Amino acid sequence: MSAPETPMLELRGVRKAFGDKVVLDGVDIPVARGRSLVIIGGSGQGKSVTIKIAIGLMAPDAGQVFVDGQDTSQIRSAADRAAHNARFGMLFQGAALFDSLTIWENVAFRLINADKVPRKEARERAVEALSRVGLPASVANLYPIELSGGMQKRAGLARAVVAAPQIIFFDEPTTGLDPINADVINDLIVEQVKRLGCTAVSITHDMASARKIGDEIAMLHKGRIVWRGPAADIDRSGNAYVDQFVNGRADGPIKVEV
Amino acid sequence: MNPVQAVGRSTLGLLRTAGSVAIFAGRGVAASVSAPWFGGQMARQVVAIGYLSLPVVGLTAVFTGAALALNIYTGGGRFNAEQIMPQIVALGITRELGPVLAALMLAGRVSAAIAAEIGAMRATEQIDALHTLSTDPFRYLVAPRLIAAVLTLPLLTAVADTIGVAGGFLVATQTLGFSGPLYVQNTWNFLTSWDIQSGLIKAAVFGFIVALMGAYHGYNASGGARGVGRATTHAVVSAAILVFAADYILTSLFTAK
């Protein structure tokens, strides 16, 4: 019998509190290499905190984060940290494009500033990445403010994938988009993740998006994973929390706190 | 809460903030003195902080020099010492008013702008994005601003010194009947190089304070647009107060020499 494969990303016993409010209460999330996990859950249930801890933007109060078997808390030197960060890509909820830079400079940011790729080559790669997400070369010299929300998301996706990361995080990728643009972004995410063969972790409360981009879905509620299973099983989970969330019912075990 | 508890809580809060600023400053300095540097960012900041502040610093200096000349002439007249006006104007401008006024103008113009820009970047997750793009925000955002302010405020002060003395010269020669060549000669003979150097050293320290306060409050902004507004206000107020405090400390050190 072969040994179980080391997860590409694993949160083990992660706990995080802000003052008295416990946001994550011992969360365990292993994600296998090349798989796409979507974490769903209501607002304020710790989805964003989970992703921030996974990517190293926030330190957990307790627990560990492993990337390809390596405990990230043991990374000490700046060079090792930079090499570690180079494995990640992230599409932010609001795209988080740098508004003082043009679109191509945004997309090529890591190539120019971290990987020291010559500007000419970086520009070519940025334009190529833009074309992969359906943006014409003519937008390369525009500034983020000149693009619509959907186009900004596409540019953010191009920035996330241009350096071929091993793990990509998607933070509410369809929030703020109309259903058609949201579906386009979902398709692009699936396409890019498949092309790169990378591991993906997304957080969303958009069920259409979760069904489309996830191989697996996990539900986070009150700081714990209350259900996890194949995306195809989401409608027959047998879990009261998942059923209420997926069907968008006010009645059920999840009480909206006001 | 009783008064003792209130005082204790305020003291702890003050110490916590001081510690947080000290750590931030340490990280900013460390990023400023070691590679990699972002040359393009630094050049942009030199233009934004230095070059674009020239008009406001120049105008402030010329009016202050002129008003100072009138005040010293009037005050000196009370004990028949009007003739020392050029020397006092030059001394006051180079040692004190040049660096302090240039720093205050920068606190209003630059510290606020830095806090607003970095605060908006925090609010829109652009600082988080820098992390995910393998770029240290202290190297990309904080260090270029610190370096640019430390380098350009002494240059702005040199300009303010020259224009401030010229403001005094204009008032003296045009309305108070001073001889132009004599005014210049008196000023030149009186000033020592230390008068100018001490002002420029002060300016470098003030530049660091102004940029640091803008960056610190912007970087730690929270609470959306309101938080950015609050960060901007705190940056300007704290920069101005720290400039005055540093001015007193440096002046005490320089005059004890």
> Which one of A113, A167, A170 makes the best mutation probe of the B interface by having the most chain B beta carbons within 10 Å?
A113
C-alpha B140/C-alpha A113 separation (Å) is: 9
Q: To 5 degrees, how large is the angle CA A74–CA A78–CA A79?
A: 100
Contact A59, A36 (CB under 8 A): no
ipTM summary value = 0.88
A149 touches chain B (CB under 8 A): no
Taking an 8 Å cut-off on Cβ atoms, the answer to whether B129 and A57 are in contact is no
Highest mean pLDDT among A79-83, A170-174, B150-154: B150-154
CB A208 within 8 A of CB A200: no
The answer on pLDDT for B152 being more than 70 is yes
Chain A residues near residue B121 by CB distance under 8 angstroms: 98
Q: What is the pLDDT of residue B192?
A: 93
Q: What is the pLDDT of residue A3?
A: 65
B37 interfacial to chain A (CB closer than 8 Å): no
Give the closest of A57, A113, A159 to B131, CB-based: A57
Q: What is the mean pLDDT of residues A207-219?
A: 93
Helix (H) and strand (E) counts for chain A?
A: 9, 10
Determine the pLDDT at residue A84.
Answer: 85
B128 vs A92: CB contact, 8 Å cut-off? yes
Is residue B186's pLDDT more than 70?
A: yes
Q: Is residue B257 predicted with pLDDT exceeding 90?
A: no
Dmax over Cα atoms in chain B, in whole Å? 69
Q: Do A109 and B133 touch (CB under 8 A)?
A: yes
DSSP B34: S
Using CA atoms, how far apart are residues B141 and B163, in angstroms rounded to an integer? 32
The pLDDT confidence band at residue B110, using thresholds 50, 70 and 90, is very high
Please give the average per-residue pLDDT across A203-211, as a whole number: 91
- pLDDT at position A220 is 94
Minimal C-alpha gap between B148 and chain A (Å): 18
Instruction: State mean pLDDT over B175-195.
Output: 92
Chain B partners within 8 Å of A52 (Cβ): 128
Q: Which of A78, A114, A169 sits opposite B133 (nearest CB)?
A: A114
Q: At what angle do helices B193-219 and B112-123 cross, to 10 degrees?
A: 20
- Whether B52 has its CB under 8 Å from any CB of chain A: the answer is no
Structure confidence at residue A258 (pLDDT): 62
CA B2 to chain centre: 39
Mean pLDDT of B177-197: 92
Contacts A–B by Cβ distance under 8 A: 51
pLDDT of residue A76: 81
Identify which of B140, B134, B30 has the alpha carbon closest to the alpha carbon of residue A82. Answer: B134
The two three-digit tokens of residue B2, written as one number: 């009783």
How high is the mean pLDDT of chain B?
93
pLDDT top residue among A4 and A179: A179
Which own/partner contact pairs does B198-201 have at CB distance under 8 Å and 24+ positions apart? B198/B95, B198/B250, B198/B254, B199/B94, B199/B95, B199/B96, B199/B98, B199/B99, B199/B157, B199/B161, B200/B99, B200/B154, B200/B157, B200/B158, B201/B154, B201/B250
CA distance A240 to chain B (A): 34
Q: Does A2 have pLDDT greater than 70?
A: no
Residue A90 predicted with pLDDT over 80: yes
User: A109 at the B interface (CB within 8 A)?
Assistant: yes
Candidates B131, B133, B145, B228: best to mutate against A (most CBs of A within 10 A) is: B133
What is the share, in percent, of chain A residues with pLDDT greater than 70? Answer: 98
A1: pLDDT strictly greater than 60: no
Check if the beta carbon of residue A18 is closer than 8 Å to that of residue A28: no
A85 touching chain B per CB within 8 A: yes
Please state, as a whole number, how many other Cβ atoms lie within 10 Å of the Cβ of residue B71. Answer: 14
